Copies of this chain bind each other. A is one copy, B any other.
Amino acid sequence: MWLEPSITVIDFYEESPVAVAPGKRPRMTDVGKKAGVSACTVSRAFNAPDTVRPEIRQRILDAAEALNYSLNPSAKALRLQATHIFGVVIPTLDHALFAKLVHSFEETLSRSGYAPVVATTGFDNTHVFEHIQTLVERGAEGLLMVGKVEDDKVRRFLTRTGLPAVTTYSFVEDRIPSIGFDNYQSIAQAVDYLAALGHRQMAMIAGPSRGNDRQQSRIRAFRDAEARCGNGRPWPVIEHSYAHAYTAGAEILRDLLASEPGITAIVCNSDTFAIGALLEMQRQGVRVPEDISIIGHDDMELAPLLTPSLSTVAVPAADMGHRCAQALLNAKLHRAPIVPVKLDANLIIRGSTGPVRRDF
């Protein structure tokens, strides 16, 4: 009988006469030995069950069970040159929109036997290289990233390796294909609508703009509108992290009310900010939209349920996740090129926006 140079672990595999080195996982050879076949038959028993005689297959399965055998994924991946993993680089999961994006991404991947590995990076895209490297070292065969890639190391890395990659959330003309929407346009719609209602002094509550093309585009849209429609008084833009965004929305609104009494409309780059602000206005007795109009962004589930219901810009979060997954899968499975897609983000007018009040 064949024996490893090491000791047989009798207390663990007591029923088995097969020796497995202590602390080592059994291999196909071990299973084969126990079942009285070769390793390659074991392989077949798992991967092409039909090609092995039923009784032998059962013997192999039993042997595997007895030895606590399980396939070594790394060896398999090496042999097949496929890990079936895609990487996701996301600012945070602790925000409904991004969570929904990853959720739908995962859904679509899993239907094809793929799974996402995720890295959260915060919102600044100028230092994401290490995160991406980690994902690739973990076997990512493709990459989903949020927003325009600003890190030159990342761009070089992607062209160098030819790794399939998509960016999402913002639509960008770029060598790296993107499946997203026009962030300038999404805010431009909102501000133009408010301007049409007569608003001449607004404020914006924005996410962190450093290394974040989505926020930069939106702020640009806001500034352009200020130049076109402003009454001369500066329109404040307050940036805040998306962490504790509801609370931040409430606090920022309080400050705004105190320091900028002339403001008649507030544009929020996330419904979370807007909802926090709206609730704070109700607490302070500010009437919405009679005294102040407020508009959000994202069209979260809560938006239509509030009183007044929240005007906002609907963002196709789930759609982006599905499409990105499908694009990556097609790239990997059928060598299809990833074609950029510009999706719609539509203004949804509800009850929180109205004509500017007379005395302005």
Residue among B70, B116, B244 making CB contact with A160, cutoff 8 Å: B70
Among A20-44, those with CB < 8 Å from B are none
Are A100 and B106 neighbours in the complex by a CB distance under 8 Å?
A: no
Are B305 and A250 neighbours in the complex by a CB distance under 8 Å?
A: yes
Closest to A65 in B: B160
Closest to A244 in B: B301
Knowing A134-B115, A137-B76, A305-B276, the reply to whether A103 touches B107 (Cβ < 8 A) is: no
User: Majority SS of interface residues in chain A?
Assistant: helix
Could you mark each residue 266-309 of chain A with 1 if its beta carbon is under 8 Å from any beta carbon of chain B, else 0? Answer: 00000000011001101100000000000000000110011100
Are A138 and B85 neighbours in the complex by a CB distance under 8 Å?
A: yes
A4 to B308, CA, bound (A): 71
Could you mark each residue 239-267 of chain A with 1 if its beta carbon is under 8 Å from any beta carbon of chain B, else 0? Answer: 00000111100100000000000000000
Knowing A120-B107, A160-B68, A275-B302, the reply to whether A83 touches B73 (Cβ < 8 A) is: yes
A136 to B103, CA, bound (A): 20
A134 to chain B, nearest CB (A): 6
A173 to chain B, nearest CB (A): 25
> Which residues of chain B come closer than 8 Å to A247, judged between CB atoms?
301, 305
In the assembled complex, A197 has its CB within 8 A of some CB on chain B: no
Among A87-132, those with CB < 8 Å from B are 92-96, 99-100, 102-103, 106-107, 110, 113, 115-120, 131
> Which residues of chain B come closer than 8 Å to A305, judged between CB atoms?
246-247, 250, 276, 279-280
Closest to A93 in B: B103
In the assembled complex, A332 has its CB within 8 A of some CB on chain B: no
Are A139 and B83 neighbours in the complex by a CB distance under 8 Å?
A: yes
A307 to B68, CA, bound (A): 57
A254 to chain B, nearest CB (A): 12
Report copies per complex: 2
A179 to chain B, nearest CB (A): 19
> Which residues of chain B come closer than 8 Å to A136, judged between CB atoms?
70, 73
A77 to B116, CA, bound (A): 18
A77 to B250, CA, bound (A): 49
In the assembled complex, A75 has its CB within 8 A of some CB on chain B: yes
> Which residues of chain B come closer than 8 Å to A330, judged between CB atoms?
none
In the assembled complex, A78 has its CB within 8 A of some CB on chain B: yes
Are A246 and B139 neighbours in the complex by a CB distance under 8 Å?
A: no
Knowing A247-B301, A302-B275, the reply to whether A137 touches B71 (Cβ < 8 A) is: yes
Closest to A116 in B: B118
A31 to chain B, nearest CB (A): 13
In the assembled complex, A5 has its CB within 8 A of some CB on chain B: no
Residue among B118, B139, B161 making CB contact with A106, cutoff 8 Å: B118
Are A301 and B85 neighbours in the complex by a CB distance under 8 Å?
A: no
A96 to B301, CA, bound (A): 12
Are A120 and B106 neighbours in the complex by a CB distance under 8 Å?
A: yes
In the assembled complex, A232 has its CB within 8 A of some CB on chain B: no
Are B93 and A100 neighbours in the complex by a CB distance under 8 Å?
A: yes
> Which residues of chain B come closer than 8 Å to A282, judged between CB atoms?
307
Residue among B78, B94, B115 making CB contact with A100, cutoff 8 Å: B94
Q: List 6 A-B pairs, minimum CB-CB distance, nearest first.
A: A99-B99, A74-B77, A93-B103, A74-B78, A73-B139, A94-B103
Give residues in A with beta carbon < 8 Å to B: 65, 68, 70-78, 81, 83-85, 92-96, 99-100, 102-103, 106-107, 110, 113, 115-120, 131, 134-139, 160-162, 244-247, 250, 275-276, 279-280, 282-283, 301-302, 305-307
